[in-house]
Amino acid sequence: MGVRHERGLVFTSNRAEDTVGIFSPFDETPLIKVRVGIRPNGLAYDPARNLLLVANVGDPSRPGSFTVSIVDVGTKTMIADVSVAGRTRWAMFDTEVDRFYVNIADPPEIVGVAAVEPFRVARAFSISSAGPHGLDLDREQARLFCACDGGKLFSLDARSGKMLAGSDLTGVPDVVFFNAGLKRLYVAIGDPGVIDVFDTESMRRSETVRTERGAHTIGFDAARNTVYAFLPGSHRAAVYVDE
């Protein structure tokens, strides 16, 4: 699910029915569903063009099902379904260069789709670890942060794809959030159940915070420097304030 304050919209990826949902939480407008590719998951939004990129997990038994769909939010229609080399993971949008970025698990790479021409893959950056998963962007320094199933964290130049630095993680990662104010990166790791905290200037791990085994989903409130971890075993949410 994604929330966009620029237009007051909420987007949901509905994997079981191959659709995305679009609605506003501020009025009683009915939920609109748009059919996209197979098993949609990651979402990224271009507010200027009102375009939503949908990263589809696909089905290995169905050739050609690994795609990213482009939805025109204004007309509520899918305008493109772009083939990629493998299963997609997280996605995001870079407002500085008008480009979507999407992690591909295998072959391990990050693909770029230009918002001005969203009908093809414009760039592909090779990643030297298995399973690119969590993804975030340092817009000020034009760096991508990519956390991989192979237990590696990388920073890359978002324009050229050049590898800038790499670090070890304590396990297989999931969600990644960048704190631009404090220059820190939070990486959720479900097993053993921790959040790895990195100083993004040195790309060294500064702290490992205990959560709970299986806690691989986190949320981040930039205004309050607060990280929320969802604990599936104890049915709770843990709240961490960074200072």
Residue 241 structure tokens: 């304030």
Give the tokens for residue 85. 């080399």
Residue 3: predicted pLDDT: 45
Confidence class for position 2, pLDDT limits 50, 70, 90: very low
pLDDT-derived band at 30, boundaries 50, 70, 90? confident
**pLDDT for res 7:** 61
Q: Computed from CA positions of residues 5, 122, 141, 169, in that sequence, does the dihedral angle turn out positive or negative?
A: positive
Kindly list the structural domains of the chain, giving each domain's residue range(s) and its CATH number in brackets, ordered by start.
Answer: 2-126 (2.130.10.10)
Distances (CA, A) of 192 to 65, 73, 158, 175, 220: 33, 39, 31, 15, 21
Q: Any residues with CB less than 8 A from the CB of 151 and at least 6 apart, and which?
A: 129, 168, 169, 170, 171, 172
Q: Mean per-residue pLDDT for 68-87?
A: 97
pLDDT, average across residues 88-116: 96
Measured distance CA(187)–CA(199) in Å, rounded: 12
Q: Return the C-alpha torsion angle 215, 145, 46, 180, nearest 10.
A: 90
Tens digits of per-residue pLDDT, 192-217? 999 999 999 999 999 999 999 999 99
What contacts 114, CB < 8 A, 6 or more positions away? 98, 99, 100, 122
The pLDDT value recorded for residue 204 is 97
For the stretch 109-134, pLDDT in tens is: 999 999 999 999 999 999 999 999 99
Task: Note whether 175 and 217 are within 8 A (CB).
Answer: yes
